Amino acid sequence: MSEKNDKLLSILKLQPVVPVLVIDDLASAVPLARALVAGGLKAIEITLRTTAALEAIRAVANEVEGAVTGAGTILNAAQYEAAVEAGSQFIVSPGTTQELIDAAADSEIPLLPGAATASEVMGLREEGFTMMKFFPAEQAGGAAYLKSLSSPLAGTFFCPTGGISLSNARDYLSLPNVVCVGGSWVAPKELVARGDWAGITKLASEAFALRG
Identify the CATH number of the domain in which residue 49 sits. Answer: 3.20.20.70
Please check whether residue 189 lies inside any domain of the structure. Answer: yes
CB 17 within 8 A of CB 40: no
173-195 burial, b at 16+ Cβ within 10 Å, e below that, comes to: bebebbbbbbbbbbbeeebbeee
Count up the domains in the chain and report the number: 1
In a domain, 53, yes or no: yes
Q: Does the residue 59 lie in any domain?
A: yes
pLDDT at 212 over 70: no
User: What pLDDT digit, counting tens, does each position of 158-200 carry?
Assistant: 999 999 999 999 999 999 999 999 999 999 999 999 999 999 9
Q: What mean pLDDT is predicted for residues 93-120?
A: 98
What pLDDT score was predicted for residue 23?
Answer: 97
Residue-range definition of the domain harbouring residue 67: 2-206
164 lies in a domain? yes
Q: Quick check: is 45 catalytic?
A: yes
Does residue 159 lie within any of the structural domains? yes
Torsion of CA 181, 203, 45, 161, to 10 degrees: 30
**Residues 134-164: tens digit of each pLDDT:** 999 999 999 999 999 999 999 999 999 999 9
* Per-residue pLDDT tens digits for 29-76: 999 999 999 999 999 999 999 999 999 999 999 999 999 999 999 999
Check if 126 is active-site.
no
In a domain, residue 212? The reply is: no
**Selected catalytic residue, list 3, 4, 63, 133:** 133
Give strand pairing partners of 36: none
Candidate list 7, 42, 45, 190, residue with the active-site label: 45
Does any domain span residue 10? yes
Whether 149 is covered by a domain: the verdict is yes
